Amino acid sequence: MMKGTLLWNLWVAVFGFLFVCTISAKVTTFDTAIYRGTIGFFSFFVLSYVFRSFWSLVTAPNETTENSQDSAQTASSTEMDAEETSKMVRELLNEDS
């Protein structure tokens, strides 16, 4: 599960728009500044989404060790069940003979 909500992405994107638009307005015309700010908005939105998903991946609890232990226990219990079943089948076959 990702940390935070899409509201974080929106706030980061708004910050990106304002930052890029402010820097761009000093150098270019207003129309170009708005255009670059819009590109900044979408870029910051996507980058914050990627960062959040990466951060969730890094900070996620380590479930692989628990799952591997559970699967090892399941495998050993399956082997025990198979041995018990085969023993019961042999006894049944011996009774008929």
3, two tokens = 């940390």
Specify whether the CB–CB gap between 53 and 4 falls below 8 A. Answer: no
| Secondary structure (DSSP) of 9-53 | HHHHHHHHHHHHHHHHHTTS-HHHHHHHHHHHHHHHHHHHHHHHH
Q: How many beta carbons lie within 10 A of that of residue 48, not counting itself?
A: 20
Residue spans of the domains in the chain: they are 17-58
Q: What is the pLDDT along the chain (97 residues), one digit of tens a residue?
A: 566 778 889 999 999 999 999 999 999 999 999 999 999 999 999 999 999 888 888 887 776 555 555 665 666 667 778 888 888 888 888 876 5
Q: How many beta carbons lie within 10 A of that of residue 23, not counting itself?
A: 14
